[in-house]
Amino acid sequence: MPELPEVETIRRDLEKKILRKKITQVFLDKKMRVKRPSFDVIKTLLNKKFISVGRIGKLMYFTVDKNCFLLVHLKMTGQLILKMKLPPHPGPLLGQEREHIVGGGHSMKTEKIDLLPNRQTRAWIKFSDKSVLYFNDLRRFGFWQVVDKNTLEKIKSGYGIEPLTKSFTLNNFFKSLKNKKTAIKVVLLNQKIISGIGNIYADEVCFLSGIKPNRKVASLTKKEIEKLYLAIKKVIKKAVEKRGTTFNNYVDSDGNKGNFVTHLQVYGRAGEKCYKCQNKLLKIKAAGRGTVYCEKCQN
């Protein structure tokens, strides 16, 4: 699942490409998941324009007007792919029409993204310049939802403090951990406490802070909590700068692979040597997720 850095990369790139273009067609497949409550997606969006693209945690929201928003969540296998027409080729193929494919989210291994729509396409939006924004979702966990401002604010209020925002202060972080009796990784993955962090960055944060992911929050000292806070800020900031992490399935909204993967210290490296101490990295279950850590560097 794309986490905060990946979704933020998609948001920034799409905002450069789709704003203020008139929506001329909207299609929803019968297998498309529209989360309720929702206004009629097609009737609401048709002949409108997106004026901004926002995000809270892993949820994107496309602003239609001050009281209308399209929410898009990619979940496990969702992908937004923008297919655009380019000017005729200037070289030997003069006059031949060209297409540009950009995508963000999970690449579909069973389908080529240049063949759109395909069997995994659940919805699409066509703009006045003939560009089309496709929503693919293999497992159909992702969703769209059209809501008013009050509903959006209610949804946003259910999210915890988010790294890289002004509200993510050390004091607020201390408050968010108060009276928590679960493992630290459980807290990091809980979107109601801290929004946007998933399995990849939770492991990286724990390693950078020197804390075992299965440590109980109540056992952390104030100094350790501060280290955890600083690690979250550093890891997420760096990941956004590097346009996210790529393994086999993530491409950003220009079709590029995020290169934070070269900065990963523990995630996906079980059994390999720790870069710091050369000790063998261990894999355990924490928060119900596969978790990698170094028993020597993390306490």
- Amino acid identity, position 75: K
Tokens found for residue 171: 């004091």
Residues 253, 10 contacting (CB under 8 angstroms): yes
- Asked if 269 is an active-site residue, the reply is no
- Cis ω on the peptide bond leading into residue 117 (within 30° of 0)? yes
Q: Of the residues 35, 227, 289, 296, which is catalytic?
A: 289
- Asked if 2 is an active-site residue, the reply is yes
- Cis ω on the peptide bond leading into residue 5 (within 30° of 0)? no
Residues 75, 140 contacting (CB under 8 angstroms): no
- Asked if 289 is an active-site residue, the reply is yes
DSSP codes of every residue in 257-286:
PPBGGGG-SSTT-TTSBPTTT-PBPEEEEE
Of 216, 232, 217, 207, the residue nearest 298 (C-alpha): 207
DSSP codes of every residue in 145-166:
EEE-HHHHHHHHHTS-B-TTST
State how far the Cα of 75 lies from the Cα of 209, in Å rounded to an integer: 28
Q: For residue 72, what are the contacts with CB-CB under 8 A and spacing of at least 6?
A: 59, 60, 61, 62, 78, 80, 135, 142, 143, 144
Q: Of the residues 3, 6, 162, 204, which is catalytic?
A: 3
Which residue has 């690690």 as its token pair?
231
Q: Of the residues 11, 33, 55, 58, which is catalytic?
A: 58
Cα 174 from chain centroid? 25
State how far the Cα of 82 lies from the Cα of 116, in Å rounded to an integer: 10
Residues catalogued as catalytic: 2-3, 58, 289
